[in-house]
Amino acid sequence: MLRCGPSAHFGSIMAATSRSPFVLYLFSCLLALVALCGYWYGLGKPVVLPDAATPTHKLQCASYTPFDKDQSPFDQPFTLRPARMDADLALLATRFDCIRTYSMTGLEAIPELARKHGLKLMLGAWVNANPVDTAREVDALIKAANAYPDVVSAVIVGNETLLRKEVTGAQLAKLIRQVKAQVKQPVTYADVWEYWLQYPEVAPAVDFLTIHLLPYWEDDPKGIDDALAHVAQIRQTFGNTFAPKDILIGETGWPSEGRQRETALPSRVNEAEFIRSFVAMAEQNGWHYNLIEAFDQPWKREAEGAVGGYWGLFDADRQEKGVLAGPVSNLPYWPLWLAVSGLISLLTLAVAGPVTQARNAFILPLLSVFSGCCIGTWGELARVTSRFAGEYVWAGALVVLNLLVLAHAALVLSDRRGWRDRAFVWFDSRAGWWLSAAGFAAAVMMLAMVFDPRYRSFATPTLWWPALFYWLRPVDAPRREIALLASIVGAGTAPQLFREGLNNPQALAWAAVSVLMALALWRSWRLSSPSLAAQHVTTP
């Protein structure tokens, strides 16, 4: 009987390819190419959402700190660039009616620039535990408010000072009343919403309350699907509790990069979805709001981890992130990483050379794309999360390690003729060191994720390939060292998951790759025992 249909056609293709390694190799290359393009396009494909800002519709207010991407408030000497501030306010004036500042130090020119560009100004003074610094800030605040009554719409005495426990509630209330007696504008204080409830003596002193609502940073983080409902519930509670005083949502937003906290996932699409949906909800309910923040601030990554540097509506180069309007992509550089991963894959195939064994001919292209995607993903992650020179060196060392393991795998699957045979012997004799290095990296990162995880990102992509390869092909390695590394990596999995919760896919992926790495180390530990080593036969 003649068999027709897709299944019969596919069966005939596989039967033909099984007789010809070259045809199987080409078929596998085609699958690998589709997988490669699909992976990177899937990460970077643009998403269309309703616009929040248009040329005819400006938003209310945005937080502004005037640092360039190479600057920090901790720089010595502390110098700001007037040309940068002028250009920044010119850009923000196209999208907002107002900006909010946090300190007076170095920002003496801000009121005049705001007037120049038609912006209103919520002017802030930085209040801390040093009374001399605080007095200097407050004096400058009062002077500017009185000199620019047409520009300064409100003054903010302190930002999250109670959260940092730098003053008492009574001290803060006294300072607020002192400022109120000397300016005509409404006076407020800004802090996370919970601290208004913990320090009830502050609310009577202000003209309106400024509350910070950041669902990502809550003690019980809110995912993007629950974030707006959380904001609405807190805003309604405060409106009822402190009526008739008005409530300003002084900070709200979402990070575009960084580690996941439970269900709260930073991404550009999630940032755009939150901001655009929040603006629509705020305007529908007549709320006053300020978005955090105008521009990405790389200096914050040192104190707050990668996520701290990516709350901007524009990036650190003042370029659109797609947050306020237009299509938005989680990975705008996906064509670059597609090219990098593709190049790694091609080099892997070149190292392996012609392959005559059918199984290896099928596996090799898929393996090269998988490892190339792992390295490319780690490259992007390291680009946005690395904070110090040491972290960049660490990221580079892990890329080199992955490339060494990849070259070893390519030679394992090759026919090993001529120079490839000599290269295989060199790589195979050192495979125990590559495994030990991968296990060491996994152990170091696991300890960090268990004992100091809050500001650390999950380095999952950098371990998938070494863990998978050495699990499939254990190697002879120093027994005591890999036993210790396997114990650390394996034992850390449960407490790490307990800290992060089972609702965090990034934590689950890290746990999975850690278990795989522990198993790879354990298999090589068994192989390295004297009784088993004698029985070991090198995988062709």
The pLDDT value given to residue 531: 54
Sign of the CA dihedral running 247, 251, 253, 258: negative
pTM of the predicted structure, to 2 decimals: 0.90
DSSP 64-126: -----TT--TT-SS----HHHHHHHHHHHTTTEEEEE----TT-TTHHHHHHHTT-EEEEEE-
- Which residues are CB-contacts of 453 (< 8 A; sequence separation ≥ 6)? 496, 499, 500
Residue 55 burial class via C-beta count within 10 angstroms: exposed 0-12, middle 13-18, buried 19 and up: exposed
59-309 has which fold? TIM Barrel (3.20.20)
Relative to beta strand 208-212, strand 59-63 is unpaired
The pLDDT value given to residue 264: 96
Cα–Cα dist 102/212, whole Å: 14
Q: How far is CA 293 from the centre of its chain?
A: 16
Phi, psi of 212 (to 5 degrees): -100, 125
Domain ranges of the chain: 23-43+333-533, 59-309
The pLDDT value given to residue 79: 83
The pLDDT value given to residue 537: 46
Residue 109 token pair: 């020119």
Helix pair 358-385, 334-352: axis angle to 10 deg? 140
Query: What's the half-sphere exposure (Cβ side, CA atoms, 13 Å) at 199?
Result: 25
Cα–Cα dist 370/376, whole Å: 10
The pLDDT value given to residue 19: 55
pLDDT tens over the chain, length 540 residues: 334 444 444 455 444 445 578 899 999 999 999 999 999 999 999 999 999 988 789 999 999 999 998 888 888 777 888 999 999 999 999 999 999 999 999 999 999 999 999 999 999 999 999 999 999 999 999 999 999 999 999 999 999 999 999 999 999 999 999 999 999 999 999 999 999 999 999 999 999 999 999 999 999 999 999 999 999 999 999 999 999 999 999 999 999 999 999 999 999 999 999 999 999 999 999 999 999 999 999 999 988 889 999 999 999 999 999 999 999 999 999 999 999 999 999 999 999 998 989 999 999 999 999 999 999 999 999 999 888 889 999 999 999 999 999 999 999 999 998 999 999 999 999 999 999 999 999 999 999 999 999 888 999 999 999 999 999 999 988 889 999 999 999 999 999 999 998 999 999 999 999 999 999 999 999 887 665 444 544 444
The pLDDT value given to residue 530: 60
